[in-house]
A = this chain, B = another copy of it.
Amino acid sequence: MSTDGSRRRDVTVADVAKAAKVSKAQAARALGNYGAVSDDVRERVLAAAEELEYRPNELARSMNTGKSNTIGVVVGDIENPHFGLAMRGITDTAKKSGYNVILINTDEERAAEVDAVRVLLDKRVDGLIVAPASSLETSHLQQVRESGRPLVLLDRAATGVDVETFAVDMGSISYESTAHLIEAGHRRIAFVSTVRTDAPYVAGMKLDSSQISDRLDGIHRAFDDAGLPYPSDLIRLSAGDADSIRRITRELLGGPDPATAIIASDGLIALSVVEAIQESGLSIPDDVSFLMYDDFAWTRLTTPPLTVIAQPVYDMGIAAASALIRRIEGRKSTGPAPELVATLIRRGSIGAPKDAEVLSQAGG
């Protein structure tokens, strides 16, 4: 009957209306659940729709209503489990409220991000969630604000743009964990991040990633408070790909005054750093202590299990999506934004440095 399989054009409200012997407007009302429709008409329309296998054209619907029930998400790297998990939080939340998600991956390129935002706006998404590749160059985000479409930030802040931001406070956790390392006797604490910089690092310098800036500030403060000099030479930014990170790790651990502890800025970096340490024949934590950001399940499987800074990434996704949808729907905030706090999970990868005695004499 109806499944003749040929390239039939889509069934429209007009078709349904004709079949149900009502006006287009009435059919549309019944189908779209709005306006006033008598039970009799609704029944006939719904029956006809079913019979004809009618499916609404959401594009046309969106054109009229100005609502697409879609939110756009822009992240640097969906392959990174950090974002994979945040994405899960976002999609779960979106689905619950009847929204779909368009995902764009920028490879942490600002140009791609500018493009992504523009495309999403052109597609008339109802709102945007962006994990900005740069916290400094934010004019395109400012444009989103001016377009009037809701925007929230994920994972990183953006200077000069007045938007709700859902990210962990990195300064305090960085301070806390650095203090922990200092207390264990470490003075040569390295920090490895892939964040790109043009200029070589100097203390207090603003980086593309507010998160990394905050972490460095935290390290800085911990050293200051301990009355110790800040080993800026051990800050390694623009770390690049896996090979490059391994090389940097070897550099850090070789030389006359090697690092006694290494902090990896994310799980991907951590993999390469730990691999390089193992390849060097050094052991954790006897030869070098190790700390990383993000608590992935595999960090419990290494020997020793790794001490990590756990971030509530899934919750961050949920919070960002909830807030965005709230704004889209014009509802007021029901309460304070959820606290997104990172925690130091002490497992086995931090110990005393080999030359602990010497340092404790020198340091205090």
Residues of B within 8 A of A63 (CB): 57, 59-60, 63
Is residue A332 contacting chain B, with contact meaning CB distance below 8 A? Answer: no
Residues of B within 8 A of A122 (CB): 55-58
- Which of B55, B56, B91, B275 makes the CB contact (< 8 A) with A103? B91
Q: Among A79-87, A127-135, A214-222, A227-235, which stretch is in contact with chain B?
A: A79-87
Q: Among A17-25, A33-41, A293-301, which stretch is in contact with chain B?
A: A293-301
This chain: copies in complex: 2
A115 to chain B, nearest CB (A): 9
Number of interface residues of A (CB under 8 A): 51
Is residue A26 contacting chain B, with contact meaning CB distance below 8 A? Answer: no
Contact B85 A79 (CB under 8 A): yes
Contact A123 B58 (CB under 8 A): yes
Q: B-facing mask of A272-307, CB < 8 A → 1, else 0? A: 001100100000000000000000111011110000
**What are some 22 contacts across the A-B interface (CB < 8 A)?**
A55-B118, A55-B122, A57-B122, A58-B119, A59-B62, A60-B63, A78-B84, A78-B87, A79-B85, A79-B87, A79-B88, A91-B104, A95-B105, A101-B102, A102-B102, A102-B103, A103-B103, A268-B297, A275-B297, A275-B301, A302-B302, A302-B303
Residues of B within 8 A of A268 (CB): 297
Contact B81 A88 (CB under 8 A): no
Contact A119 B100 (CB under 8 A): yes
Contact B100 A59 (CB under 8 A): no
A301 to B306 alpha-carbon distance, docked (Å):
11
Is residue A5 contacting chain B, with contact meaning CB distance below 8 A? Answer: yes
Is residue A3 contacting chain B, with contact meaning CB distance below 8 A? Answer: yes
- The B-contacting residues of A in range 289-346, CB under 8 angstroms, are 296-298, 300-303
Contact B102 A88 (CB under 8 A): no
Interface of A toward B, CB cutoff 8 Å: 3, 5, 7, 55-60, 62-63, 68, 70, 77-81, 84-85, 87-88, 91-92, 95, 100-105, 118-119, 121-124, 146, 148, 268, 271, 274-275, 278, 296-298, 300-303
A293 to chain B, nearest CB (A): 15
A301 to B119 alpha-carbon distance, docked (Å):
40
A79 to B7 alpha-carbon distance, docked (Å):
38
A146 to B10 alpha-carbon distance, docked (Å):
12
A297 to B56 alpha-carbon distance, docked (Å):
45
Residues of B within 8 A of A146 (CB): 3, 5
Residues of B within 8 A of A100 (CB): 102, 104, 119, 123
A231 to B213 alpha-carbon distance, docked (Å):
56
Residues of B within 8 A of A148 (CB): 7
